[in-house]
């Protein structure tokens, strides 16, 4: 069962996939109906999930499920991963590269290879107040309250 993204309960579980590049307006328009259809059809052991799917900041695919209604099983999570892989093929984009970090700078998403993080911190290009898109956020309430959040309030705090 599809739930509009903004109507998810705060405890709804999230899976965030970060694209390696911003999606064009045309690509976003192309996948919007696919996201809704996936959320409508997503199920766990034959039980429909109370799910939603959204693209945020033109670069972050967010799948969500209200776990109090029905929990996502291993099989249903596998289905979601297969769906994201299909989107990768359709869009010629990568959603599973965890070696790049995303920051919000001057209103734009800036991707930073992880191996460059220390030098960017040393140069003052990234500091504890730089907004970071933490893909480890696991519920809708956290996403609404602090996403992106200051890098110093994330797992990146050890770099400051």
Note down pLDDT in tens along the chain; length 160 residues.
Answer: 788 999 999 999 999 999 999 999 999 999 999 999 999 888 656 667 789 999 999 999 999 998 766 666 677 888 899 999 999 999 999 999 999 999 999 999 999 999 999 999 999 999 999 999 999 999 999 999 989 999 999 999 999 9
All residues at 6 or more sequence positions from 97 whose CB lies less than 8 Å from its CB, including other chains = 18, 20
- pLDDT value for 47: 64
- pLDDT value for 77: 81
- pLDDT value for 7: 93
From its phi and psi, is residue 158 left (phi > 0), alpha (psi between -120 and 50) or beta?
Answer: alpha
Specify the DSSP class assigned to residue 38. H
């Amino acid at each position: 069962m599809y739930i509009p993204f903004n109507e998810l309960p705060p405890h709804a579980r999230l899976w965030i996939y970060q694209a390696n590049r911003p999606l064009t307006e045309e690509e976003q328009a192309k996948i919007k109906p696919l996201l809704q259809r996936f959320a409508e059809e997503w199920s766990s052991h034959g039980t429909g999930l109370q799910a939603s799917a959204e693209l945020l900041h033109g670069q972050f695919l967010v799948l969500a499920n209200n776990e109090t209604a029905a929990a996502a099983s291993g099989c249903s999570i596998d289905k979601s991963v297969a769906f994201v892989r299909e989107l990768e093929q359709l869009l010629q984009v990568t959603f599973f590269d965890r070696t790049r970090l995303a920051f919000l700078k001057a209103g734009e998403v800036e991707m930073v290879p992880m191996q460059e993080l220390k030098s960017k911190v040393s140069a003052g290009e990234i500091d504890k107040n730089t907004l970071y898109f933490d893909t480890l956020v696991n519920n809708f309430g956290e996403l609404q309250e602090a996403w992106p959040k200051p890098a110093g309030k994330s797992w990146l705090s050890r770099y400051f």
